[in-house]
Amino acid sequence: MNQDDRLEQIIRRVSQAETLEAKPISPELARPSSFLKVLQASHYNWGSHHFRKVFAMRFSVKLPPIEQLNVITYPHKSYDLPIFIFFCMLTKRKIIAHLNINCPFEDGAYKAEWTAPLSNILAGYESFETRDRYPEWMLKYRNPCTIYGLFPIERADDISNCCFAYLDYYLAKVRDAAPETDAARLDSISRFHDQWISDIRTQDKAQKMIAKMIGAKTARRIFHEVTT
């Protein structure tokens, strides 16, 4: 399965659970030009009943050869739902992956509803444990079902299948979600989303990497206007 197939599978699953409406993106951000045409990039945004934004990105680099995709779902702040993320970068021999649901609450009931079922899915695969250091800014989002690290390319299908299984569970819960009514929880959810957005915009090293190929101003606009 190549990266386009992975992205198509993910968006197909989301669109089966939610009626997605494409959101317009400025052409210079949807398909930014790169220096010496070393990068081909495409960015997408959709919205739906439960999601303020579904973000997707595909890019290819010629040298060194890299194929990357990234998907993030942003529930509306009126719903008590985690943020789902799947990042997958393929090189010639390795795969760098980050798969997670980022939860606004950490109590036992929340873990039982969200992370424990995904941990059970994870247990069905050969271990994804690595010695790679989890970035400091991401530690607050880490949980027992998180996958993060550098893996042999042979693990690509395992990681993809685990992503699809996580997503199927997540979307089934999203589909049945009703708006949160508790004012204190709504405030916590809002602050959680604001923190996540701030972290992606200011801490994610991918912005600096992309800036080297398309310029810092365009990269910043993508992270502020499209990614988040």
Over the stretch 71-105, which tens digit does the pLDDT of each residue have?
999 999 999 999 999 999 999 899 999 999 999 99
Half-sphere exposure of 188 (CA within 13 A, CB side): 13
For residue 7, give the H/E element and its range. helix 3-17
Please give the pLDDT value at position 36: 64
What pLDDT is stored for residue 140 in this prediction?
A: 94
pLDDT at residue 67 in the model: 95
Contact between 119 and 91 (Cβ < 8 Å) = no
pLDDT at 37: 76
pLDDT per residue rounded down to tens, the chain (228 residues): 899 999 999 999 999 999 999 999 999 999 998 776 778 999 999 999 999 999 999 999 887 889 999 999 999 999 999 999 999 999 989 999 999 999 999 999 999 999 999 999 999 999 999 888 889 999 999 999 999 999 999 999 999 999 999 999 999 999 999 999 999 999 999 999 999 999 999 998 888 888 888 999 999 999 999 999
Residue 171: closest CA among 43, 1, 3, 20 = 20
pTM, rounded to two decimals: 0.95
Token pair in block for residue 25: 């993106």
Strand 147-152 and strand 94-102: pairing? antiparallel
Q: What is the DSSP code (8-state) at residue 132? A: P
Contact call for residues 95 and 149 (beta carbons, < 8 A): no
pLDDT at 154: 95
d(CA 83, CA 170): 10
The confidence score (pLDDT) of residue 127 equals: 95
Which residue(s) pair with 44 in the sheet?
56
pLDDT score of 186? 98
Length of the chain: 228
Residue 160 CA to residue 214 CA, distance in Å, equals 28
Domains and CATH numbers, the chain: 3-227 (3.40.1500.20)
pLDDT of residue 39: 81
